């Protein structure tokens, strides 16, 4: 469980510093991005911008695997299908929001929804919901 929390902090660290570097490049200002991420300061704006999309999918997949693992350890059962449905709904919801944004020319407004949904997929929040949910389901069956 601590690994999922550490993963959340690590993901946040990376994205905060990518955003800082993107801001510095866009406004031609000095960067305050961490030197702990060596490729940041030598990468151009659009490469970093598109890398964020890849990293979003990558971290969502890492969280999926980590949460499935934690649930397996806690409950000695596999919940990959249930979690997969949740991740599918979050991902499809984000894709629909972005698609509608492009179709209606309101990408900036609907990007917030897509970002929120994918933010859930890249956080310990689902684990914090799944544990009591599974426990409640088990207690209702008993």
pLDDT in tens, 1-59: 899 999 999 999 999 999 999 999 999 999 888 888 888 888 999 999 999 999 999 99
CB contact at 8 A, 114 and 98: yes
Residues 55-82 have a mean pLDDT of: 96
CB contact at 8 A, 76 and 134: no
CB contact at 8 A, 117 and 93: yes
Distances (CA, A) of 69 to 6, 37, 87: 15, 28, 15
Model confidence band, residue 121 (pLDDT cutoffs 50, 70, 90)? very high
Place of tokens 């490729």: 39
pTM of the model: 0.91
142: pLDDT strictly greater than 80: no
Q: What is the pLDDT of residue 41?
A: 86
């Amino acid at each position: 469980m601590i690994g999922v929390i550490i993963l959340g902090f690590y993901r946040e660290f990376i994205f905060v510093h990518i955003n800082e570097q993107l801001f510095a490049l866009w406004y031609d200002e000095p960067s305050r991005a961490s030197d702990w991420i060596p490729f940041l300061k030598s990468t151009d704006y659009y490469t970093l911008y598109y890398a964020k999309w890849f990293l979003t999918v990558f971290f969502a997949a890492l969280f999926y695997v980590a949460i499935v693992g934690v649930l397996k350890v806690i409950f000695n059962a596999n919940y990959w299908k249930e979690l997969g449905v949740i991740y599918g709904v979050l991902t499809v919801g984000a894709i629909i929001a972005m698609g509608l944004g492009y179709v209606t020319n309101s990408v900036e407004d609907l990007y917030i929804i897509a970002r929120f949904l994918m933010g859930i997929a890249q956080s310990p929040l689902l684990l914090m919901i799944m544990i009591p949910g599974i426990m409640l389901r088990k207690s209702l069956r008993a």
